[in-house]
Amino acid sequence: MKSFLKWGAIIIGCLVVVIIAAMLLIPMFVDVKKYKPMLESKVTEATSRPFSVGDDLRLSLFPWAGVSFSDLRLGNLKGFPEKEFITVKSFEVRVKLLPLLSKDIQIKRFVLNEPRIVLVKRKDGKANWDQPQETPPTQPAPKEKEPPLGEPGTFELPISALTVGNLAINNGSAIYHDQASATRNEITEINLSVKDFSLEKPVKLTMSARVDEKPLSLEGSVGPIGQGFQMETIPVDLSLKALKQLALGITGSVENPLTNPGIDMNIEISEFSPRKLMAALGRDFPVETTDPKALERVALKTHVKGDARKVSLTSGVLELDQSKLNFSATASDFSRPNLKFDLALDQIDLDRYLPPPVDQPTPQKTTPRTEGARKKPDYDPLRRLILNGTAKIGKLTVSKAKVQDILVQIKARDGVIKLDPMTLKLYQGGATGKAVLNVVKNTPKSDINLRVNGIQINPLLKDVLEKDFLEGLTNADIRLSMVGDAPDQIKKTLNGKGDLQFNDGAIVGIDLASMARNIEAAFTGAKQSGPRPRTDFTELAIPFTIKNGVTKTPGSSLKSPFIRINAVGTTDLVKETLDLRVEPKAVASIKGQGDETLRSGVMVPILVSGTYAAPKFRPDLSAATRQQIEKKIFESKEAQKLLEKEELKPFEKDAKKVLKGILGN
């Protein structure tokens, strides 16, 4: 028995010696260069591209199985300017053979020196990385049966272990040239280094490159990955720096990479200047803003957790110049997006970020476009959208108007989008409202309800319009509905009603009492001396109705200590025309307020016509004449004596009506 074991050990020892000797001697006696033409021919046939490799081709088998070569060249397809598609100056890989028997891959070196790839896309859309199409076979090839998918969590890599002593890419480069857009981007000095890689411990990596001559670096660690990728959580800690301007940090983990891939990470972008970033790229800033100092500072941090079914953002903070936005959001069921969000912005001046005003050229007459020529919007994404969110803004400046404490609740489902409630404060007052947009059908419908309480109108007009023509405390109740998404269509279908009311204010720049009496001053442009004219009022009420774009004011009125004014008429939003009649009535006196002056004179009604762009004002002289005749008749001594008779007093009112009817005709 001992002899048997002895001879067995001797035989096994001899086999090991023979195998080791073969591994050492085969590379010495086998000329691998002899097979180089065959290798080049096979690769050329498979890729339809010229392929060549340098004469420095080496093979080793012990103690490491290794291959190395230099000057690899894979050519481009015909019709592309660059001769080479891929080039590699040198390549070396060394792998232990014996551990492969137990699926243990041990790589000593994997080094790629000066790899270069050139990607070109021609104007006709053809790219040099596309593989030439082969002639289809006469009969379809039988479809390969796909291997059955394993149950979640049963996937295993076909290896038991993986270690890499040194993995490196040295001085690589990549070029992308899009001839259609005449753009060319180049990444040079690509260097990647990974040392002591193992599935059982964190992998430290370092990468650097230059993007269009601008520096880019990535460093950090990933892992441990775990035996066969079976770890449910793979830690990640990476730091990306670009152009000496942008710094991105990612810390967290990749979860269940082989069964249900997901991420759970903190993302932080350190404070940077978008303007300086674009300048570092050598490009013009893509957005022109009214304030040239806007978009000078941006920072972001948030926590991201998600998988293929759901993504959430929590603890989010976005800083933009002097503004700070706290946010959270979730998105799920991406085929029919279900979005929830909560936004809270402390302050923002939107006017800074709007395009600067430009001088509008004189509009030229053009042939009006037909409604059919306009491309209809696609509302299908809105119909699929499910939305529930809240937006809050502490202070907002828009069109120079200053608004505070804005709250908007947004909900959407099945093509119906609701904004309810909407609340805000401005100019010592506030506004509340709600709106509904219905896109269930191809033509959208909208409803808006707005209520205004106690807003001081004068500072609002000064800020927004830079005009000073109205003062007073403003209240309003407006309800509007419309159909369509084009301005002309909206005007034609606009319906609703409302009531505007201004209290304890004034119309600045106009003395309506004087205008109604003094025709020459009001309508011939005669200059008035003294302080700026104004018409004080206790109440200005403007009720209105809108039907198919035509606004009617059935009983607008102004109550002033010196005058009463009623206005009736219509305005056509579609044709942009005016047809109004403003009728003043004098107040005889205001003795109760210490004024003993009698107010007298002819009150001339004013007719307003023309268009929004060129309104016309003219006195209603016929009405003024009738008023003067009535006054002279009823205030004459003869009429007074006649009407003083007791037997005629019951007929005084009827007599005045008859006289007015005669004068009116």
For 300-331, what is each residue's pLDDT tens digit? Answer: 999 999 988 899 999 999 999 999 999 999 99
3-state secondary structure 463-478: HHHCCCCEEEEEEEEE
pLDDT value, residue 16: 46
The CA-CA-CA angle for residues 174, 177, 179, to 5°, reads: 170
Asked whether the beta carbons of 443 and 387 are under 8 A apart, the reply is: no
pLDDT digits (tens, 9 = 90+) for 422-446: 999 999 999 999 999 999 998 999 9
Tokens of 575: 């044709």
- The pLDDT of 450-461, averaged and rounded, is 94
DSSP 21-54: HHHHHHHHH--GGGGHHHHHHHHHHHHTS-EE--
How many Å apart are CA 374 and CA 646, to the nearest integer? 76
pLDDT value, residue 365: 47
* 480 strand-pairing partners: 448, 496
Place of tokens 């990444």: 187
Structural domain includes residue 641: yes
Question: Do 642 and 541 share a domain, yes or no?
Answer: no
pLDDT value, residue 163: 80
Question: Do 496 and 597 share a domain, yes or no?
Answer: yes
Q: pLDDT class for 153, splitting at 50, 70, 90?
A: very low
* 423 strand-pairing partners: 407, 432
Question: Do 22 and 74 share a domain, yes or no?
Answer: yes
Tokens of 168: 């490196």
Which of 434, 415, 414, 416 lies closest to 424, judged by CA?
434
**Count of domains in the chain?**
3
pLDDT value, residue 526: 52
pLDDT digits (tens, 9 = 90+) for 494-508: 999 999 999 999 888
Question: Do 193 and 77 share a domain, yes or no?
Answer: yes
- The pLDDT of 143-171, averaged and rounded, is 64
Structural domain includes residue 361: no
| Residue 634 CB contacts under 8 Å (≥ 6 apart), including other chains | 656
Pairing of strands 104-113, 161-178: parallel
Q: pLDDT class for 551, splitting at 50, 70, 90?
A: very high
| Residue 427 CB contacts under 8 Å (≥ 6 apart), including other chains | 402, 455, 456, 457, 459, 460
- The pLDDT of 467-488, averaged and rounded, is 91
Question: Ranked by mean pLDDT, which of 28-37, 235-244, 321-330 comes out on top?
Answer: 321-330
- Residue 510 pLDDT exceeds 80: no
- Higher pLDDT, residue 454 or 14: 454
Residue numbers of the domain that contains 654 = 623-665
pLDDT value, residue 359: 61
- C-alpha distances (whole Å) from 330 to each of 269, 309, 314 are 20, 11, 8
pLDDT value, residue 58: 76
Instruction: Give me the amino acid identity at 126.
Output: K
Determine what percent of the chain is predicted with pLDDT higher than 90.
33
- Higher pLDDT, residue 212 or 134: 212
Q: Is 633 helix (H, G, I), strand (E, B) or coil?
A: helix
Asked whether the beta carbons of 565 and 558 are under 8 A apart, the reply is: yes
For residue 368, count CB atoms less than 10 angstroms from its CB and return exposed for 0-12, middle for 13-18, buried for 19 or more: exposed
Q: Is 85 helix (H, G, I), strand (E, B) or coil?
A: strand
Residue 611: how many CB atoms within 10 A of its CB? 12
Question: Do 521 and 583 share a domain, yes or no?
Answer: yes
- Higher pLDDT, residue 24 or 560: 560
Question: Do 655 and 597 share a domain, yes or no?
Answer: no
Which of 545, 442, 422, 547 lies closest to 486, judged by CA?
442
pLDDT value, residue 632: 53
Structural domain includes residue 351: no
Question: Do 91 and 175 share a domain, yes or no?
Answer: yes
Question: Do 628 and 595 share a domain, yes or no?
Answer: no
- Residue 142 pLDDT exceeds 60: no
pLDDT digits (tens, 9 = 90+) for 95-127: 877 776 677 777 888 888 999 999 988 888 888
- The pLDDT of 403-420, averaged and rounded, is 95
Structural domain includes residue 344: no
- The pLDDT of 176-183, averaged and rounded, is 85
Question: Do 57 and 25 share a domain, yes or no?
Answer: yes
pLDDT value, residue 593: 42
Question: Among 372-381, 517-526, 555-564, whose mean pLDDT is lowest?
Answer: 517-526
- Residue 366 pLDDT exceeds 70: no
Question: Do 569 and 609 share a domain, yes or no?
Answer: yes
Ramachandran quadrant class, 597 (left: phi over 0; alpha: psi -120 to 50; beta: rest): beta
For residue 651, count CB atoms less than 10 angstroms from its CB and return exposed for 0-12, middle for 13-18, buried for 19 or more: exposed
Question: Ranked by mean pLDDT, which of 47-61, 239-253, 339-353 comes out on top?
Answer: 339-353
Instruction: Give me the amino acid identity at 198.
Output: S
pLDDT value, residue 613: 77
Structural domain includes residue 21: yes
- Residue 545 pLDDT exceeds 50: yes
Write down which residue in 585, 600, 619 finishes a domain: 619
- Residue 407 pLDDT exceeds 50: yes
Residue 494: how many CB atoms within 10 A of its CB? 21
Write down which residue in 586, 604, 619 finishes a domain: 619
Question: Do 512 and 647 share a domain, yes or no?
Answer: no
| 224: preceding bond cis by omega (within 30 degrees) | yes
Question: Ranked by mean pLDDT, which of 41-50, 150-159, 188-197, 401-410 comes out on top?
Answer: 401-410
Pairing of strands 338-349, 203-211: unpaired
- Residue 215 pLDDT exceeds 50: yes
Instruction: Give me the amino acid identity at 617.
Output: F
DSSP state of 18: H
Pairing of strands 338-349, 323-332: antiparallel
Question: Among 1-10, 77-86, 311-320, 530-539, whose mean pLDDT is lowest?
Answer: 1-10
pLDDT value, residue 277: 86
- Torsion sign across C-alpha atoms 499, 503, 509, 510: positive
Burial 504-541, CB ≥16 within 10 A → b, else e: ebbbbeebbbbbbbbbeebeeeeeeeeeebbbbbeebb
Asked whether the beta carbons of 249 and 239 are under 8 A apart, the reply is: yes
Structural domain includes residue 380: no
Question: Among 163-172, 548-557, 576-585, 601-610, whose mean pLDDT is lowest?
Answer: 601-610
pLDDT value, residue 626: 58
- C-alpha distances (whole Å) from 208 to each of 151, 215, 222, 249, 647 are 40, 8, 17, 16, 113
Counting other chains too, the contacts that 204-210 makes at CB distance below 8 Å and 24 or more residues apart are none
Determine what percent of the chain is predicted with pLDDT higher than 70.
73
- The pLDDT of 628-652, averaged and rounded, is 54
Q: How many residues does the chain have?
A: 665
pLDDT value, residue 227: 65
Asked whether the beta carbons of 497 and 544 are under 8 A apart, the reply is: yes
How many Å apart are CA 328 and CA 312, to the nearest integer? 8
DSSP state of 590: B
Asked whether the beta carbons of 572 and 561 are under 8 A apart, the reply is: no
Question: Among 311-315, 321-325, 354-358, 612-616, whose mean pLDDT is lowest?
Answer: 612-616
How many Å apart are CA 27 and CA 66, to the nearest integer? 10
DSSP state of 226: -
Which of 85, 52, 45, 58 lies closest to 71, judged by CA?
52
Instruction: Give me the amino acid identity at 133.
Output: Q
Structural domain includes residue 406: no
DSSP 436-493: EEE-SSSS-EEEEEEEEEEEEHHHHHHHHH----EEEEEEEEEEEEEE-SSHHHHHHT
- Residue 235 pLDDT exceeds 70: yes
Structural domain includes residue 88: yes
Instruction: Give me the amino acid identity at 86.
Output: I
Q: Is 431 helix (H, G, I), strand (E, B) or coil?
A: strand
- Higher pLDDT, residue 619 or 141: 619
- Residue 625 pLDDT exceeds 50: yes
Question: Do 489 and 602 share a domain, yes or no?
Answer: yes
| pTM for the predicted model, two decimal places | 0.72
Write down which residue in 582, 601, 619 finishes a domain: 619
Asked whether the beta carbons of 495 and 551 are under 8 A apart, the reply is: no
DSSP 176-212: EEETTTTEEEEEEEEEEEEEEEETTSPEEEEEEEEET
